[in-house]
Structure 1
Amino acid sequence: MNIYTQLCGLAIMATILFFYRRQPTMGLSSERHFRTTIYSILGCVLLDIASCYFIVHSNRFSDTLVYLICKLYLLSLQVVSFSVLFYTTADVFEYYGSKHEKMLGTLYQVVCVIGMIITMYLPIQIYYDGVKLYSYGPATIATYIFVSFYIFTTGISTVVLRHHIKQKKSNMLLIWMAIWSVSAIIQFLDPKVLIVSYASCIGALIMYFELENPQSSLSRRTGHFSSAVIRDYFDYLYQSRKSFSVMMISFRTVADSANENKLLRTTISKLSEFLFTVDTAKIFDTAEGYFVLVFENMDFVESTKFRINTYFQSIQDNPDVSNAITLLSPFYTIVPDSSISSNADELILLLTGFIPNDRNKLTGNEVIVNDEIMATVRHSKAVEKMVVEAMENDRIEVHYQPIFDIAKNKYTTAEALVRIRLGDDSLIYPDEFIPIVEASGRIIPLSDTIYRKALSFLKSYHIDRLGVEHVELNLSVKQGENPLFVNRFLEMLKEYNISAEFINLEITETNSIHSQENLFANMKKLEEEGLSFSLDDFGSGSSNLNYIIDMPVVIVKLDKHLTDEYFINPKAKAIVKTVIEMAHSMGIKIIAEGIETSDSLEEMKTLGVDYIQGFYFSRPLPEHEFLKFIQQHNL
């Protein structure tokens, strides 16, 4: 019998099933349909072998039994081709497809049933001459027609539904359908070449290795599901309208040190081992070092949290002191009900916003997400989108607030401040979006946009000829820590032909410093190139005396809150006087921010403040208004 290809196909399917069943799966609909397809292909190969056997030994069996086995093989071909079609389109038909698309899915199922009934009703003939064997007749022709229809529809679906189907899946399906089509044509033209069922095995093997291998969903570090597939899992849960709860376990770190990194790795390792005992949740390990647990209901969340805390305590309180291990305390972000967010992207955004770090300053050891928190997350996302669109549509503006030099009695510097111009011509101010883009990481591209606009303005109007000695540009700590920042900024200065001595970088958000080493090293390199630095918001809680000592700053800006307090609080008055005296003794100049009255101005002059910035002189001005202001007051 010519069944060598079928036996090879059988070996392929047995191997796929062996490894597929040994690995954990997430329970996605695509996994279920792929598993159904594998079993249908396995059945098809077995029936192909059986039909060959019964045709060869037809003299031993009744014609009815031989014809029945051959027809069952034909039916299995239709089932396999339909299974592949359903595997391709199931998510659309079952979950997020339109009403008409879901009706189309039902229609396909009806067609499949009709095809099977027609095949069973039509007659079939068999041929065997000692070498070649095959079945033929109306039932075989009907099978070719229906299988061709499913293959063609599968190919069309991968193209039409490409926005719903991953590109890689579409490509692999098209390759599978091409292999199957070629094999069907070859077998139709030369019936002794029995390769149709084998071709389906090759297609399944391609899909397994490229898309459906459960091993590819697992983290090599821990063996849990990896973060690369968590969005797919959340998508599936939301599309299938399944209610679930989420608990994210992360860890609070306070320094970027070798000892703390070692402690973090030990903690993650111990937690990972323990989580294999949790059978009530799907567990995802992220490259950032935290775990996401997805539960069917909230009851399992509390019990699992209790078990983790007990486990950690048992390790740290080991009576055998030599075996006791210090671990970082876990921080829990709990989403009791998945309906609090509307989709997978929003849920992931929510979770990533509650990883404890030096920016969000989360307190306690857990956050339970409620509607108020979700509203804040949605607002942040909307603001982030607004900033991105403003950058894309050139609606970022830079305004300049003049700064008065008391000694020279004129405006010798100005601070560049960002604004966003909306479609209705209104302005959005930094307080409304800077903290959000800082947290999201988009502060770097936004800062680059601001720098380019400011440098372009300086190049175009030569404000140094109007008595302006330097311009202050805000430098986010996040950007200042970036190892690529120095070269990128120096390239900008070169591109716009701006002298480094004309730029003063104003350090902001010092409470978010993560790597002092990187920041201070970058500042030193830029100082060597001629740039100067100022420390913003001194006295607001974001700056402290250590930064005045450690950073190469030449200017310290007193925060508006501190200057306001100076006039009503004796303690604040003593602090301001001390800071000014200390700064001057170190050769550092002082800018008083937020000065709005003549009395405040005179008092600051008496104290020996070097520069005044505030609405008493001017609000931040658009480019041309700033130029007009400087011309009127400096010339």
Structure 2
Amino acid sequence: MRNVSFDISAIVVLVLLLMSALIRKATIGKTNKIFLSAIVLCIITTCFDIMAAIFDAAGANYRQMMMFSHTGYLLIHNFESVVHVIFVISVMDLWHKLKKNIPLQVFIVLPYLTVFALLLTNPLTGLMFNVDNGIYTHGPLFFTLYICAGSYLLIDIYVIIKNRILITKMKAAGLLSMAGICLLTVIIHLILPQQLVECFGVSLSLFIVSLAVQRPEERLDSDTGFYRHSAYANDAKNSFMSGKHWHVVMLNIANYSSVNSMLGYEQTIEVLKIVSEKIRLLNKNLGNKGELYYLDRGRFRIVFSEKERTIAETCATLLNNELKSKIRYNGFDITLSPMIVLARCPEEIESFKSLMAFGLDFHEKNPYTGKVICAPEIYHHDDFEIKNNINKIIENALENKSFQVYYQPIYSISEGKFVSAEALLRLFDKEHGFISPEILVPAAEKSGAIHKIGEYVFEEVCKFVSSEEFEQLGLDYIEVNLSVAQCMHGDLADKILMIMQQYKVPANRINLEITETAASYSQRVMTDNLNKLARAGVEFSLDDFGTGYSNMKRVVSLPLKIVKLDKSFVDEQANPKMWIFLQNTVKMLKDMNMEIVVEGIETKEMVDAFSELKCDFIQGYYFSKAISKDDFIKFILKSHKKENSVNA
């Protein structure tokens, strides 16, 4: 009797692999299911191999069972090669390419169909093997089995090497090891036919794959059971790289932060589990066509293949309706704000970076309407192209000194003339055109470039203030913005004072603007910077007042001279309650001896309304937008001529 100890060892390994896969929940998704199928097929193959060895040893009385067991073994063992190829294609997510590659489809199907036909007809032809007088012998076409296995081996190697960029080196090595180990065991079996090592080789290769490739604990989120953020990022990147066309339903719970604040972390996780279960059930009802992901902070993704557009649309609609209903949990009626965007990639969102950047915060940048949104409604390619390249754009602008300083005039109500201006950063890139400050400034803060940019802007302002042109304008001062990151820099005050000294700019010619967000910070570095500048005679404005929830004690402790009311107040002036709030806010600030600038003024009616409110200064499009230095000089000189003609 042939040695079946390797087969028995293979069954032990395979059963352990199967149990491990079930325990680790490696049963979700197409790739996991194919891997499980490979394990089950190998178990069946090994059982047939043991059965064949037993009946071969039993002799001529069991010819039919010998024929059955050998045929079953060869049929399933060779089909394992097909499954291995399919598994490799699935791991690399190349289904879309396979569907378009007819020659590859034929090459995958034809060898096994040939073997299948030969084995089914073998009892009549004896071309594959024979059983005579209880002795098993190979037939004249038995070598086709090796040709079949070799062809699939070549397909495996070809697909892995050609598309190696789509997977890690560890995964590529794990997949290639399947081919190498199986080839080695075939050679051993040819040399030592009494040693049944082929099934053990397959089980060993599957074990290596389970370690190097099939690692669900790395891909699954433990709370929801969905694939996690890193898996989504990796799969999405590979899809774009391989040219795959696909659909994604993006769900961001817009009020996640509020729910988390109300319930706390642990209870919020329980609510997310309820949401996850609703998504899982919905996907099941739609035929489990979607791949489910949970990223973080209430952000879910459901990915569908190219042909499943209708299912993706249905999923988005049903999910929106389901999640808008109140969720009853632990005595609470929880109302979620599910903001859902349906996107077609790469037709509507063209790159991995754009997809990830867009998905991060679309719920914060767009109002919640309660309806499913199609990506083109809120996704703008040019903005995300700029975001993806913003660091390079900033680097080039610093190198080429292509930043510009614009000025927006500020009008004094009491004096009836322009007395100051706000300096504003502008950047016009050769390739991308105008770069919005809303994109530019946060990116510069994140990269640290804001410090160099801030120095450049301040130096340009000081050059202007120290010039004869500025003296002719009769302006009192120029306002310069400071970002949060600048305020936190230890040598900010020293650099500002050094530049002012370099250009001989008096302290009363500069007014530094800090935002309400920056003012709410209580870090010592920022406080030291502001106090040092204040002692040198520099005055401060609080910008965007009313847009945040400041610590008022912190705000009033700062050396502020001017408070700038945000445009949002102006937009709500028709609201009687808002007007009462404005009246009391202005009175409070006046009682603290602060001057008030109103931003965003666009009409004569607005000017009159805020003049009656006893505000001090007006800034907005009613007078002028931010303009270049040369245009600003012309604008102010022209306004002087008007003033003189009126006075005359």
Q: Work out the percentage of aligned pairs sharing the same amino acid.
A: 16
Q: Which residue of 339, 361, 368 corresponds with 1:333?
A: 339
Q: Deviations over 1:223-281 (max 9, x none)?
A: 5554555578999999999999786656454599xxx3654532432563686588623
Q: Deviations over 1:96-136 (max 9, x none)?
A: 21765244123311122124445656344899xxxxx9976
Q: Distance in 1 between matches of 2:88 and 2:424?
A: 54
Q: Distance in 2 between matches of 1:626 and 1:58?
A: 106
Question: Which residue of structure 2 lines up, in the alignment, with residue 398 of structure 1?
Answer: 403
Question: Which residue of structure 2 lines up, in the alignment, with residue 320 of structure 1?
Answer: none
- Mapping 1:99-178, distance limit 5 Å: 100-118=100-118, 122-124=127-129, 138-163=140-165, 169-178=171-180
Using the TM superposition, give the Cα deviation of residue 153 of structure 1 relative to its aligned residue in structure 2, in angstroms.
Answer: 1.8
Contact 1:33 1:87 in 2 (8 A): yes
Q: Give the direction of change, closer, same or farther, for the CA distance of 1:252–1:85 in structure 2 (3 Å limit).
A: closer
- Mapping 1:307-456, distance limit 5 Å: 309=326, 311-312=328-329, 315-316=330-331, 326=332, 328-334=334-340, 353=361, 355=363, 362=368, 367-371=370-374, 374-379=375-380, 382-394=382-394, 397-402=402-407, 415-423=423-431, 426-427=433-434, 429-430=436-437, 434=438, 442=443, 444-445=445-446, 448-449=448-449, 451-456=451-456
Using the TM superposition, give the Cα deviation of residue 81 of structure 1 relative to its aligned residue in structure 2, in angstroms.
Answer: 1.7
Q: Distance in 2 between matches of 1:618 and 1:360?
A: 25
Q: Give the direction of change, closer, same or farther, for the CA distance of 1:489–1:58 in structure 2 (3 Å limit).
A: farther
Q: Distance in 1 between matches of 2:166 and 2:403?
A: 41
1:288 equivalent to 2:297? Answer yes
Using the TM superposition, give the Cα deviation of residue 377 of structure 1 relative to its aligned residue in structure 2, in angstroms.
Answer: 2.5
Q: Distance in 2 between matches of 1:559 and 1:250?
A: 24
Question: Which residue of structure 2 lines up, in the alignment, with residue 41 of structure 1?
Answer: 42
Using the TM superposition, give the Cα deviation of residue 174 of structure 1 relative to its aligned residue in structure 2, in angstroms.
Answer: 1.7
Contact 1:89 1:157 in 2 (8 A): yes
The DSSP-based 3-state class of the residue aligned with 1:417 is strand
Using the TM superposition, give the Cα deviation of residue 492 of structure 1 relative to its aligned residue in structure 2, in angstroms.
Answer: 8.5
User: What TM-score results when the alignment is normalised by the length of structure 1?
Assistant: 0.68
- Mapping 1:531-610, distance limit 5 Å: 534-538=541-545, 546=552, 548-549=555-556, 553-558=560-565, 586=592, 588=594, 609=616
- Mapping 1:234-313, distance limit 5 Å: 251-254=255-258, 260=261, 262-263=263-264, 265-269=266-270, 272=273, 280-282=281-283, 285-289=294-298, 297=314, 301=319, 304-305=322-323, 309=326, 311-312=328-329
Contact 1:534 1:556 in 2 (8 A): yes
Contact 1:413 1:471 in 2 (8 A): yes
- Mapping 1:468-479, distance limit 5 Å: 472-473=480-481, 475=483
Using the TM superposition, give the Cα deviation of residue 10 of structure 1 relative to its aligned residue in structure 2, in angstroms.
Answer: 0.7
Q: Which residue of 527, 534, 543 corresponds with 1:524?
A: 527
Contact 1:29 1:91 in 2 (8 A): no
Question: Which residue of structure 2 lines up, in the alignment, with residue 184 of structure 1?
Answer: 186
Q: Distance in 1 between matches of 2:208 and 2:218?
A: 14
Q: Distance in 2 between matches of 1:593 and 1:401?
A: 16
Using the TM superposition, give the Cα deviation of residue 47 of structure 1 relative to its aligned residue in structure 2, in angstroms.
Answer: 2.4
Contact 2:454 2:482 in 1 (8 A): no
The residue type paired with residue 434 of structure 2 is L
Q: Give the direction of change, closer, same or farther, for the CA distance of 1:146–1:437 in structure 2 (3 Å limit).
A: farther
Q: Give the direction of change, closer, same or farther, for the CA distance of 1:47–1:504 in structure 2 (3 Å limit).
A: farther
Question: Which residue of structure 1 lines up, in the alignment, with residue 14 of structure 2?
Answer: 13
Q: Distance in 2 between matches of 1:560 and 1:303?
A: 36
| 167-176 or 16-25, larger mean C-alpha shift | 16-25
| 172-181 or 524-533, larger mean C-alpha shift | 524-533
Q: Give the direction of change, closer, same or farther, for the CA distance of 1:249–1:392 in structure 2 (3 Å limit).
A: closer
Contact 2:251 2:301 in 1 (8 A): yes
Using the TM superposition, give the Cα deviation of residue 400 of structure 1 relative to its aligned residue in structure 2, in angstroms.
Answer: 1.7
1:620 equivalent to 2:620? Answer no
Q: Distance in 2 between matches of 1:104 and 1:254?
A: 52
Using the TM superposition, give the Cα deviation of residue 92 of structure 1 relative to its aligned residue in structure 2, in angstroms.
Answer: 7.9
Using the TM superposition, give the Cα deviation of residue 350 of structure 1 relative to its aligned residue in structure 2, in angstroms.
Answer: 7.2
Q: Give the direction of change, closer, same or farther, for the CA distance of 1:210–1:2 in structure 2 (3 Å limit).
A: same
The residue type paired with residue 43 of structure 2 is L
Question: Which residue of structure 2 lines up, in the alignment, with residue 76 of structure 1?
Answer: 76
Question: Which residue of structure 1 lines up, in the alignment, with residue 5 of structure 2?
Answer: 4
The DSSP-based 3-state class of the residue aligned with 1:378 is coil
Q: Give the direction of change, closer, same or farther, for the CA distance of 1:609–1:300 in structure 2 (3 Å limit).
A: closer
Question: Which residue of structure 2 lines up, in the alignment, with residue 57 of structure 1?
Answer: 58
Contact 1:267 1:327 in 2 (8 A): no
Q: How many residues align?
A: 578
Q: Distance in 2 between matches of 1:265 and 1:91?
A: 34
Aligned CA RMSD, in angstroms, stands at 5.9
Using the TM superposition, give the Cα deviation of residue 335 of structure 1 relative to its aligned residue in structure 2, in angstroms.
Answer: 6.3
Unaligned runs of 5+ in 2: 284-291, 304-310, 471-476, 502-506, 637-648
Using the TM superposition, give the Cα deviation of residue 150 of structure 1 relative to its aligned residue in structure 2, in angstroms.
Answer: 1.4
Q: Distance in 1 between matches of 2:560 and 2:209?
A: 60
